[in-house]
Amino acid sequence: MAIDITMPALSPTMESGTLAKWLVKVGDSVRPGDVIAEIETDKATMEVEAVDEGVVAEILVAEGSEDVKVNAVIARLQGEGDETALAPKPVATPAAAAVAAQTAAPVAASAPTAPAPVAAAPAKPLTPQGPLARNIASPLARRVAQLLGVDLGAVTGTGPNGRIVKADVEAAAGKPPVAAMAPVAAAPAAAAPAPALAPVALPPTDVPFEAVKLSNMRKTIARRLTESKQQVPHFYLTVDVRLDALLKLRGELNKALEGRGVKLSVNDMLVKALGQALLQVPDANVSFSGDSLRKFSRADISVAVAIPGGLITPVIRDAANKSLSKIATEMKDLAARAKEGKLQPPEYTGGTASISNLGMYGIKQFDAVINPPEGLILAVGAGEKRPYVVDDALAIATVMSATGSFDHRAIDGAVGAEFMSAFKALVENPLGMLA
């Protein structure tokens, strides 16, 4: 029988994607693990692997088609025993892709299927073992398994034909879904969802302009940050932090690390300080989750990185307990691959708090928007020479302003203030981060 290939969910926030390129054609044989297409998600362009074996019988969605909904059928394989002749069939044009994407999933879900012979019906879901587990696990399930450290060979699949899905992996891990896999915000069940992108009526103008179509990434940024400001009650706290001791320590460490080819940035040190501050004030290392709070025992720091067309937040795992050289090495690699669009979802999801640094642009101070479901984001400005009281005397010091944006549903003002005080103390006495 024919096997449907559907648009996969390649990131937790993905609702639709662009089918950038087909790497197979009608008549090609594919096996599990073969790369068959390139999909542009809201974060990057990613390769899609086949999960079944067969011969490509139909390609239903053309290259360049945009807004193809997740789970819409994009191609079909001729399975074993299917003797349907392979023949080129009409392929949906990019212009018709939106209509096809919106209708394909409901039709596929509602269309009756021919009853299978009773003898062929399995009595229970298949339990994949060894290499077979990878073959019948969804791409998202494999990535979540990698993130949670779950052996797919021990997971029972509850999806179609025993396929392992994300929920199976999370159940096997014995824990609720990781924070980054949760919806953007927990809204009351009765509340109507906000429109993804509300149309804006613009007044006529004689000024020449060019209408630039939004990329999937820009659409996602617009939707998620609008939801954040509408649904998350932000409050802001700012502290001035003296950097002289940190800059001196950074210079000494960089000299010592020259032989290893490692160079620390100020931001690398601030990432570690943020991680340690979260462990010192655990009530700030939380996420609002409807009728409960998730209190994290580890500080995974999302670091805002500007890339062409948008923003992405690679995550430094367990930042508080990593050496500064390790943080610098990881951050350099993550930032480079982020700009090339080569990050995998586990590398930019699942943070417990974020940091955004605009100091390199000369920005003194700004208020950042929280990245749900995280509970806070730290906005860092430029270090500059300012009059500052040092040892009860007025002096000139290198000072930066840092502003924390907090989710008031999860973090109270006093907790936020305690966190900002801990961060300031760590930066002003940086040797404590190395102890």
234 catalytic per annotation: no
> Of the residues 294, 339, 408, 424, which is catalytic?
408
Instruction: Report the C-alpha gap between 64 and 182 in whole angstroms.
Output: 29
Task: Report whether 5 contacts 64 (CB < 8 A).
Answer: no
Kindly report the number of other CB atoms within 10 A of residue 192's CB atom: 6
Longest alpha-carbon distance in the chain: 88
Instruction: Report the C-alpha gap between 102 and 47 in whole angstroms.
Output: 23
As a whole number of Å, the CA-based R_g of the chain is 25
Query: The dihedral of CA 217, 218, 223, 229: what is its sign?
Result: positive
Residue showing tokens 């966190």? 419
Instruction: Report the C-alpha gap between 284 and 305 in whole angstroms.
Output: 23
How long, in residues, is the chain? 435
User: φ and ψ at 155, to 5 degrees?
Assistant: -105, 135
Cis before 199 (ω within 30)? no
Task: Report whether 299 contacts 274 (CB < 8 A).
Answer: yes
What's the token pair of residue 240? 């001035």
Instruction: Report the C-alpha gap between 336 and 347 in whole angstroms.
Output: 13
Crossing angle of helices 166-173/139-148, nearest 10°? Answer: 20
Enzyme catalytic residues: 408
